[in-house]
Amino acid sequence: MPEEKQTTDQSPITKKEILGWCMYDVADSAFTTVIVTALFAPYYSKIVVQDPNRADFLWGLAASISEIIVAVLAPILGAIADFSGSRKKFLGVCAMTIIFFTAALWFVGPGAVTLGLTLYIIANIGFAGGGVFIDSFLPGISNEKNVGKISGMKWAFGYTSGLVCMVLISLVFGLADNIVVNPTSEQLSKARLIPVVVAVYYAIAVIPTFLFLRERSVPQPLPAGESYLTVGFKQLLKTLKNIKRYRELVKLLIAFLVYNDGVVTVIYFAALYATTTIGFTGEDIAIMFILLNVVAAIGAFSFGWIADRIGQKTTIYISLVIWIIAVVIAYFSYTKATFYVAAVFVALGMGATQSVTRSLLALFTPKANAAEFFGFLGIAGKALAFLGPLVFGTISNVTGSQRPAILSIGAFFVVGIILLSFVNEKAGKEAARIPVAVE
């Protein structure tokens, strides 16, 4: 059985390296906060499509398409990255994709429905793919005693960054309030600058990642007559053949597959729900997401610290209950003040669920197979990720109301809790000590 040191760099981990890993989320969160959730989604609805129910359906469709593509590609690309020692290169391609295609959203004006959808799908593929590769570095820069803290730190950095980017766009540059129905030419010009600001912010924030984060996967020599593509496929098949070794990881992925769909759906439609159902203005949205990111940053770091002490699984349970409370409050919200309360619960749940799930997966993952295994997380995160947005969009379109749509999302969290109860945390950690040998 090959030792892990043959396929991973075991040199000492530095604080600078951990900082570099965290900084990728500083960049990423500008995209997910502003483009996916807070500002470009309402821009696409109010200015580009000019039909909120149709916009819900199209936004959900775009999310579904990009998530399915990443779900198909992530494991094989992860296996190739592990074997070729090129996780960082793959990460760089994803980052460049986000920067270029986010900036290109500047060209999306009123009526450019297809162009906006296409550019957003490609940018979102880069975002989702980058998430797989950056997460695959976590097992190599952490241990059982600090993985929750480090993962929580990354997410806290990200939520803080989302806040900073929103403040820049909304308060410093004054662009958020220009997202209105039938904008003037001046308002349209300002609103179109939003994705450009995000692209520039992303490009600057991601620099420390590529300066400080080490490539810890060591390239393996190619067998005669093989290419990295064929070896990647063979490695993936070998992992699937030996998947019984990692039963607890599989159980975790199945649970994550379900409850993450609820998380993704709330993130995609939070701003649209707030504007269409509650009556939030662009300024209200900006305030809400400032609040959301402050609370989520605190939640991510705090729950990461808690997870290292009471266990990741128990902490995830707590976070899913918080999500259920959030969607119930959102359903019964008829005032802005009440919806702000729902946003606080969303922020707490979001900060805890995402960071702690990844720290638990890191403990269940052999270091030598990290990108490949986090590719499976990509599958779990994307395989059903089309369902939640599709359910929300369909219910909203059929009923003409987003209230039953948001309430339906609570079912994903309830089922997630049930599935998570079957995961044996201790057995999962023990199984991770044996890597899948690369032949």
Q: Which of 59-73, 80-94, 119-133 has the lowest mean pLDDT?
A: 59-73
pLDDT of 135: 86
Amino acid identity, position 208: P
3-state secondary structure at position 8: strand
pLDDT of 382: 63
Share of the chain above pLDDT 70, in %: 95
The arithmetic mean of pLDDT across residues 362-366, rounded, is 87
pLDDT digits (tens, 9 = 90+) for 109-144: 999 999 999 999 999 999 988 988 898 899 889 888
pLDDT of 3: 43
pLDDT of 7: 53
pLDDT digits (tens, 9 = 90+) for 402-424: 999 999 999 999 999 999 999 99
Contacts of 228 (CB under 8 A, 6+ apart): 80, 83, 84, 222
pLDDT of 2: 42
Query: What integer best gives the mean pLDDT of the chain?
Result: 88
Q: Which of 64-73, 205-214, 243-252 has the lowest mean pLDDT?
A: 64-73
pLDDT digits (tens, 9 = 90+) for 334-347: 999 999 999 999 99
Q: Set out the domains of the chain in order of their start, with CATH numbers.
A: 4-431 (1.20.1250.20)
pLDDT digits (tens, 9 = 90+) for 16-65: 999 999 999 999 999 988 998 778 988 999 999 998 888 888 988 888 78
Asked if 319 contacts 352 with a C-beta cutoff of 8 angstroms, the reply is: yes
pLDDT of 5: 44
Instruction: Evaluate the CA torsion angle 79, 81, 87, 93 in order and state its sign.
Output: negative
pLDDT of 78: 81
In degrees and rounded to multiples of 5, residue 8 shows phi and psi of -135, 145
How many angstroms from the chain centroid is the CA of residue 120?
A: 15
Cβ-in-10-Å burial (0-12, 13-18, 19+) of 337 comes to exposed
DSSP 402: S
The arithmetic mean of pLDDT across residues 242-253, rounded, is 86
The arithmetic mean of pLDDT across residues 154-178, rounded, is 89
Share of the chain above pLDDT 90, in %: 50
pTM for the model stands at 0.79
DSSP letters for 247-261: HHHHHHHHHHHHHHH
More confident residue, 378 or 24: 24
How many angstroms from the chain centroid is the CA of residue 264?
A: 8
The arithmetic mean of pLDDT across residues 88-93, rounded, is 95
Q: How confident is the model at residue 202 (pLDDT cuts 50, 70, 90)?
A: very high
pLDDT of 351: 86
Residue 85, sorted as left (phi over 0), alpha (psi -120 to 50) or beta, turns out to be: left
The arithmetic mean of pLDDT across residues 164-180, rounded, is 89
